Amino acid sequence: MKYKRILLKLSGEALMGEKEFGIDAKILEAYANEIKATVALGVQVAIVIGGGNIFRGVQGVQGGVVDRAQGDYMGMLATVINAMALQGALEKLEVKTRLQSAIKMEQICEPFIRRRAVRHLEKGRVVIFGAGTGNPYFTTDTAASLRAVEIEADVILKGTRVDGVYTADPEKYSDAKKYDVVSFSEVYERSLNIMDLTAITLCQENNLPIVVFDMNKQGNLKRLMEGEKVGTLVS
């Protein structure tokens, strides 16, 4: 197996499927099946999921309704809703999971404790990290990088709707070319939109590779675990 312990980063928007808002049950079920197949290989799986399908802090700020910090906290709560939905879908498939939140919510999840998270992973449980870093002004990409470093993951797998990193947005530009491998320095130089710069810097400083791949293509996650070249490697 190529990786022993992974941090899977999923976007909240991906959970919408064809909807304009909320969670598409078919997408949720498909993701849960992909994760179950990966766990069955003996891989330790941790997950960070965004909340953009429910609320983004930027939305509130742009609308002038709330300030940035308040909006970001609202976004963190949205990630917990998604995390609970994913936990439910996994447990329906009899995959043991634990949900840990950076904001204390004792009735529905554990507080984030690094040692406890690592112990859960060692026991074969999927650990889902909710509420980002627990701090405003940080994205869930940064939360994914931080948690991956903390639990000593081998790699961050960023599941998106496209099959890797391109020279331009492939959904807008038909002549965009895909990178098989790209360095952290190239990400900076070419302003490649993979993760925010705080997340990228954290990965670079800790020699933590990132693989950007299409999570919506069935079997991609398992193929990655088995060493196939899927998506784009950032290292």
Type of residue numbered 131: A
- Given pLDDT bands bounded at 50, 70 and 90, which one contains residue 57? low
Q: Which residues pair with 116 in a beta bridge?
A: none
- Give yes or no for residue 67 having a pLDDT over 90: no
pLDDT of residue 63: 67
pLDDT of residue 56: 72
- Give yes or no for residue 59 having a pLDDT over 70: no
- Give yes or no for residue 153 having a pLDDT over 70: yes
pLDDT greater at residue 203 or residue 21:
203
Angle at 88 between CA 160 and CA 148, to 5 degrees: 45
Of 20, 64, 70, 30, which Cα lies nearest the Cα of 214?
30
pLDDT of residue 191: 87
Mean pLDDT value across residues 164-180:
87
Other C-beta atoms within 10 Å of 20: how many?
6
pLDDT of residue 18: 84
- Give yes or no for residue 19 having a pLDDT over 80: yes
φ, ψ of residue 124 in degrees (nearest 5): 90, 10
Domain, as residue range, for 33: 5-234
- Given pLDDT bands bounded at 50, 70 and 90, which one contains residue 167? confident
Type of residue numbered 21: F
What's the CATH number where 178 sits? Answer: 3.40.1160.10
Mean pLDDT taken over the chain: 93
What is the C-alpha separation between 39 and 160, in angstroms, rounded? 20
Question: pLDDT tens across 223-234, in order?
Answer: 999 999 999 999
- Given pLDDT bands bounded at 50, 70 and 90, which one contains residue 55? confident
What is the C-alpha separation between 42 and 94, in angstroms, rounded? 15
- Give yes or no for residue 96 having a pLDDT over 70: yes
Of 8, 14, 1, 7, which Cα lies nearest the Cα of 40?
1
What is the C-alpha separation between 18 and 36, in angstroms, rounded? 23
Domains contained in the chain, number: 1
pLDDT of residue 154: 98
- Give yes or no for residue 87 having a pLDDT over 80: yes
Q: Taking a C-beta distance cutoff of 8 angstroms, is the pair 233, 3 a contact? A: no
Type of residue numbered 81: I
pLDDT of residue 234: 97
pLDDT of residue 161: 84
- Give yes or no for residue 182 having a pLDDT over 80: yes
- Give yes or no for residue 62 having a pLDDT over 90: no
